[in-house]
Structure 1
Amino acid sequence: MTKQRGQAVTDKIIDTAGRLFYKQGFNATGINQVIEEADIAKASLYKHFESKNDLMVAYLQGLHQSWYNRLETDIEKISDPKEKLLALFDHHDARQQFRDFGGCPFIKANNEAGAADPRILTEVQEAKEHAKSYIKTLVANSGHRQVLSDDELAETIFLMIEGGVTTASVFKQSADLQTAKKLIQKLI
């Protein structure tokens, strides 16, 4: 039972920190604010995390896993291989709407803390490489028209999604993600 309680505290700390990191930024989020909003003792936080950077790494690791699980669940509901590629854009669009067009949490973390701690940069890079790998698998199984090679199409989709998420964040709307989807539809 102690292990479960310890995990519950860890999860509560990570969830609170992650919400704050995303909403107000890594640099603007203080350890005391995390402690206060998680309603835990300072000793509890430091029992689980030695530093704010350690907390960011844990947040990114959990975020990566939950992001991938959510993406895979959404995409695997679709049977048509080409529609799976297009559904990537709808998934990212829905996530941006859910996040009030706040942008990609991995990019936000990278912008604020990626240069300061190589572990944070590594976590962001791993998440982005995982996204590319997943797209490559979907492309390879899509039977696309071969206007582009599999690698070229996968890279194009990845870059279109990344750009679409960025512009969705800047302009607070989904139009560019949907435009990117339409362009990819012409290639597949």
Structure 2
Amino acid sequence: MGRSRKKEAILQVAERLFYEHGFRGVGLKQIINEADVATMTIYNHFSSKDNLVEEVLKQREERYWSYLDEYVEMDSDSPFLLAVEAHGRFLKEQSYKGCMFLRAIEDYAGTDNEIETIARGHKSKLLNYFQLLAQRKGKDNERDIANQFTLLLEGATSMTTLVGAEQATDYSITMARMLVRHTS
């Protein structure tokens, strides 16, 4: 197992444990045990637990955007609907217990750290993404549209913990269709 494979293993285990038990509920010892690496290995790759959390969030964000990039044809008739579908797929496969970024914002709020910055950045990136889509579609109220679709996706993520990803996605697609008709 090469160095980078060990780093991957640590990130994978850490993400799963943080997602299942929260950031505060998981210590480095548990990650070391489950990733089956030496204590020194974790410190070779990450300067601290906070640094590990940062890397986990960055990796998760990259994965999220790869879902959207893979799914959304910018020039299709309704890239908005495609984005909502892509988000739904991410929920089903990666985010069935609510939003890890939101949890990071809650857990690390007000502590002036990179973690909260990364998590908040993820949210504003989504707003910008929809604003860009709206501009490309020639909409003049792109800020409203961006806020509405971001709210829709955030709502779907929250509802996932209550009704499951499948159902939350179905609701969000229905609402997205109404929004698209309303804004065209």
Give the TM-score band, short-chain normalised.
0.7 to 0.9
Alpha carbons 2:64, 2:90 under 8 Å: kept: no
Tell me how far 1:115 sits from its aligned partner: 3.8
Residue 176 of structure 1 is matched in structure 2 by: 171
Alpha carbons 1:13, 1:45 under 8 Å: kept: yes
1:21 is the counterpart of 2:21 = no
Aligned length: 180
1:102 is the counterpart of 2:97 = yes
Tell me how far 1:168 sits from its aligned partner: 2.4
Q: 2:106 aligns with which of 105, 111, 115?
A: 111
Structure 2 unaligned spans of 5+: none
Q: Within 2, Cα distance between the matches of 1:37 and 1:117?
A: 30
Distance 1:60 1:99, change over 3 A: closer
Percent identity, aligned pairs only, is 24
Tell me how far 1:100 sits from its aligned partner: 6.4
TM-score in terms of structure 1 length = 0.85
TM-score in terms of structure 2 length = 0.87
Tell me how far 1:83 sits from its aligned partner: 1.6
Deviations 1:4-29 (A, max 9, x none): 92222222111110111112211111
Give the letter for the 1:165 counterpart: T
1:57 is the counterpart of 2:54 = yes
Distance 1:98 1:135, change over 3 A: same
Q: CA-atom RMSD, angstroms?
A: 2.1
Residue 142 of structure 1 is matched in structure 2 by: 137
Q: 2:80 aligns with which of 85, 105, 109?
A: 85
Q: Within 2, Cα distance between the matches of 1:182 and 1:169?
A: 23
What SS does the corresponding residue of 2:72 show, helix, strand or coil? helix
| Bigger mean CA offset, 121-130 vs 171-180 | 171-180
